[in-house]
Each structure stands twice: as C-alpha cells, then as structure tokens.
Chain A
C-alpha cells in the first residue's frame, strides 16, 4: 500500500501533468521546469499577473541576447 507521502507526490505529479498539457494547449511557452517553478512561486503567494510580466520580460531579454549572439556569429 502506498504511503500518504508517496500518494501526495503522485497527486502533485498528476496535477503537474494536467497543468503542463493545458499550458501547451494555451501556447504559454512554459516547459515543465519553468512551469513547476511558477507553480511554486504561486504557492508562495506571488501575484500571477506580476509573474506573467516577469516571464514575458525574461523572454524579451533572452531574445535580445540571442539576437546579439546571431549578429556576433555572423560578423
């Protein structure tokens, strides 16, 4: 028989799988790693709208790094 702790772990894993599939259907761009960090941040009380701003800002920054990387490699 499964212990309560492992049953809880399974429940969390199943919930994360459901959330990841929803995330993909909604084209949020979150992978499992980022999603699980976001879930933990929400659990800590971070405002989801503020968190979405953070993620969009990080994408913009990452895109500009990639763009400068491409221009460096082409130059």
Chain B
C-alpha cells in the first residue's frame, strides 16, 4: 500500500505506519479545504491508537471480567475451531485450505524466521470476521 511507511523498526514508528495505512484512500485535496488536514487526522489516529493500545494497562484497581473459557486455548486450536465452524456452515473448501495453511506453518515453524508465530495467529483469530467477506463471483 502506498500510504504506509513501515520502514521504521521502532514500535512507535510501526504504529505510525499502521495509522498511515488507515489514512490511505482518503481524498486529501478535498479534505484540506474542509474539516481536517492530513496532519491533524494523523495526530487524531495516533491518539486513538495509543488509547486502544494502553487501555488494558493501569487497570489494576478496577474489577477484571472473569477469564473466558477460550482464554487459555492456544491460537492454533482456535483456528481449528473456526475451521470447524466453516465446515458446519458449508464452506468446506475454505476450511480445508485453512487447515492446510495451518499445517504448513506448523511444519515450517523452525525455518519461518518468526519467533512469535503464536502471537500472530492470535491476532488473526482476534480479527477474524471483522470485515465482510468478499462478494461471491458467479
């Protein structure tokens, strides 16, 4: 994506790059005449991103919700559960492919070059279904 500049290795730099990704596709010519400039939109996005990132911290005094039954389930198993749901809803091909890809990841985990593969899988699980599926082509 052209709007993202994800070259920085720092966490702050990468969060800024994520914000830039969110801003790509907006028309800044028209926007500059209207409500907000690109820079103020960036600032606003960064504020919201840090707010969301830090929301879970500094809550030691407040009552915590009880952990869900899935809290300690490995991300790998959660993906298998999603795959099961796909099968139940008649999406056998997608379920098959998902399990195949999961197997590929597991087989290549040592050579993948990634040390936090479980965290990445957990992120995918957390975001699963957060956008509408692409329209079916006939």
Chain A residues with CB under 8 Å of chain B are 8-9, 11-12, 14-15, 18-19, 21-23, 25-34, 36-62, 65-66, 68-69, 72-73
Contact = CB atoms under 8 A, between A and B. Distances in A.
Given A25-B97, A57-B49, 6 more contacts: A25-B101, A26-B79, A26-B125, A27-B133, A34-B18, A54-B49
Contact of B108 (A14, A21, A33, A56): A14
Contacts of B123: 38, 42, 48, 51-52
A61 B14 CA distance: 18
Given A28-B127, A37-B4, A43-B114, A50 B102 contact: no
Interface of B: 1, 4, 6, 9, 11, 14-15, 17-19, 21-23, 25-27, 30-31, 34-36, 41, 44-45, 48-49, 51-53, 55-56, 79, 82, 94, 97-98, 101-102, 104-105, 108, 111-117, 119-120, 122-133
